[in-house]
Homo-oligomer: A and B are copies of this chain.
């Protein structure tokens, strides 16, 4: 019985890692599609979103089933509660990758990125990818040092987010209303992507140390 339970906990962890890997792929492809106005790649990201939703839903079912059958306590219970929340954050990160891809698709064959913001968005996308890769490693190896690394990356992302608004509201870049809307939304999506990654580090901290910070 105990052995089955340990296998089930392991299964929850493996599935979180798998979903996080798909989020890495989604955000990598979404930022590439956004940067290069690649509509085929954008559509691929949008289509793949459904798979992540399904996997997250199945993980939730498994988690609730384990809660009902095994009635875990202490760190096992914290992993179950954390898994329910982390699956929601991962699903949301995939949604945000889809939103970024959708911006690329809407504006195609134009670029969704106003002149003068290309470098900033490239940096934001690269940080997103690094954060998602950090989550894969954190979920797999449970190394607490990764938590700080991911949070530092989120600080960088927030700085770039502020910079986007600064540029959009200055006269430095030439953007029409469409460009301003796209830049505002894209920047907000990146910022929220980072917030969800930080949420996941909080859940891992809770699981590892019982502390929700």
Contacts and interface: CB of A to CB of B under 8 A. Distances in A.
Contact of A168 (B68, B165, B175, B181): B181
Interface in A60-85: 60, 64, 67-68, 71, 73-74, 77-78, 81, 84-85
A115 interface: no
Given A177-B175, A180-B177, A180-B180, A64 B77 contact: yes
A198 B178 CA distance: 29
A177 B212 CA distance: 39
Main secondary structure of the interface of A (DSSP, over half): helix
Contacts of A84: 81, 84-85
Interface residues of A, number: 26
A188 to B, nearest CB: 7
A159 B144 CA distance: 44
Contacts of A68: 73-74, 77
A178 B85 CA distance: 35
Contacts of A180: 177, 180-181, 184
A88 interface: yes
Contacts of A57: 212
A172 to B, nearest CB: 11
Interface of A: 57, 60, 64, 67-68, 71, 73-74, 77-78, 81, 84-85, 88, 165, 168-169, 175, 177-178, 180-181, 184-185, 188, 212
